[in-house]
Amino acid sequence: ILDFFSNGDPGRLSALRAKSLQLIVDAAIFEPGRWRSADFTDTVTEIPVIKEDKLHDLLATPSGSLFNEIAKSPDVLTSCIIKMLERALDMDVGKYNSSSTSGPLILYSIRLAIRVEGFLKFALQKCCQPGKSRPRGLECLDNVKIENAIKKIRNMLDIQ
């Protein structure tokens, strides 16, 4: 979803000035989705998966969709957030106007970046506790990548 808005036609990103679309994107990114139980061991045995129940179970995650993205592909997540911020700031006309494309879009992009940064910090904090095992779903989290992602997002927010 973030890649759709951060790459391609600038009209896609400017569409995020609409509050209704912001709410849809937030729901898609921040709502956890289907949960995978700790004892789930099923695997994909046929492609395409025909049974819808099985498909939903296979697509479930142990810690939510955003944490799954943070654990599996933090670089993609970070680059999309930074691109959205850069492109939104490029649309800035120099003076805030709530009816212009850039005002609400810039505020939303900043809010989105800060929320994602919070999830990154939480994941890193939970995976850096000495003597404690990592939370389920974050076992493969690369601490160095997450630290770099946090720095990149924070740097973008601080510089601008």
Give pTM, 2 decimals.
Answer: 0.81
- Interval 10-27: pLDDT, tens: 889 999 999 999 999 999
Q: Tell me how far apart the alpha carbons of residues 67 and 55 are, in angstroms, rounded to a whole number.
A: 20
What is the per-residue pLDDT across 116-155, written as a single tens digit (0 to 9) for each?
A: 999 999 889 888 877 777 776 778 888 999 999 999 999 9
Residues in Cβ contact with 130 at an 8 Å cutoff, skipping those fewer than 6 apart: none
When pLDDT is cut at 50, 70 and 90, the band that residue 9 belongs to is confident
Residue 130 tokens, joined: 């000495």
Residue 60 confidence (pLDDT): 66
Residue 70 CB burial class (10 angstroms; 0-12, 13-18, ≥19): buried
Question: What pLDDT is recorded for position 117?
Answer: 97
pLDDT tens for 64-92 read 788 888 888 999 999 999 999 999 988 88
Which residues make Cβ contacts (< 8 Å) with residue 131, sequence separation at least 6? none
CB atoms within 10 A of CB 40: 12
Average pLDDT, the chain: 84
pLDDT of residue 39 exceeding 70, the answer is no
How much is the pLDDT for 101?
66
Query: Cα–Cα–Cα angle for 46, 51, 54, nearest 5°?
Result: 80
Cα separation, 32 vs 34, in Å, equals: 7
